[in-house]
Structure 1
Amino acid sequence: MFAPVDFIIAVVGKLRVLTIKATHSGLSDVSVQSPPDETVSVTGSAYSFRGATTSLTNKNLTSSKKIILVRHGLSSWDAESRVQGSSNLSVLTETGVKQAEKCRDALANMKFDSTAEIIWQGKEEPLVFLDSLKEAHLFFLEGMTNADATKQYPELYTRWREDSANFHVNGIYPLKELWGTAKQAWEEILLTQGENFLVVTHKSILRALICTALGLPPERQV
């Protein structure tokens, strides 16, 4: 059964919603219907969407799916201008809580943690935590202020900010690995029973989810 997959993507900070409808036209092919302009802003970066096509899973879906992607609210490290990453030491700020509450209100009529927990209040379905939705691991840069990282590791920090697809530490490329975990996340999400899914995660993995859904590699960042 070739079931449709709809993506609703909230682009944080741009006050716009981009809806991309993808349908399975073959066993593992996903094509973009009515693509947006050639480039759009997606969590801080622009990507070319022209001709994007990919396979999210090589298994048939048994029902249509609606996936709502949400970035978490403002965190303490965001507010302090620190390098984020896979660390769990950053917490949701008061502003972040308010952002999550607004998102909850906007999604109130849709059936489907700290942000996820706030949005999910009143829902009966259980929250599911996926390791494949963790943020990119940035090694010793995590937790440093952007100013300190620029001063202590100027070349490395600049590479992460300006050419993240080729950023690496000891041969490990965090962003390229993130694209792999994003594909794993899609497999887990799409093969889970149900039709409506709320995915709350971080900026880089959110970007990877969007791009892998459209068949865009990390190098397609422009």
Structure 2
Amino acid sequence: MINKIAASVADALAGVKDGSTVMIGGFGTSGIPNELIDGLIAQGSKDLTVVNNNAGNGDTGLAALLKAGRVRKIICSFPRQADSYVFDGLYRTGKLELELVSQGNLAERIRAAGAGIGGFFTPTGFGTELAKGKECREINGKNYVLEHPIHGDLALIKAERGDRWGNLMYRMAARNFGPVMATACKKTVATVHEISDLGELNPEHIVTPGIFVHQIVKIERQATQSGGLRKAA
């Protein structure tokens, strides 16, 4: 019987190796799988390459992983914002390597990995520092830059609902990079707030099929200061 429901975050993340490439879903603070990031910190793997849209906020989530000294390199499109001081400090002191990728190219490079595409030409970045050292080609009178796929060892994503086969549905903006990251990695672990019986999820609403998901972990919703339940986007 296929059952991808893990008993705990620790069980789901057991065996992550040093030097792994870890893709972490999220756009700003929307859809960040904070429980899985905390679990990765507790798990102890180091020398990681992290792929994310940005480079963490404040002292929690991805920023906490950076602060713990577990990350060697980050690949992202938007590393600096008002509260990205953890990244800023590590990068300025040479303790963290950065590969800057424009947001569209980041998404497409991840998608290309999942689709088995060996590379693609894009006009984005041509004539800028982002194209330095890369193959450029003129096609039909327009200049393009060759970009290569980004493959990962582990994807950590946040979903809304799932079933024991690993089929996932997302909530609004929390969807962001999760679906493409799940296809591009050797292993995908997702958190969900609700676990549905098989057949209960509408097939037309399933965004990530279970074939791309290895384990899911049910987590509780966080209470707000007012005492209500917060449905994190």
Q: TM-score range by the shorter chain?
A: under 0.3
Q: Which TM-score applies when normalising by structure 1? A: 0.24
Indicate the structure with greater strand content: 2
- The structure with the greater share of residues assigned to helix is 1
Structure with bigger RCO (C-alpha 8 Å, 6+ apart): 1
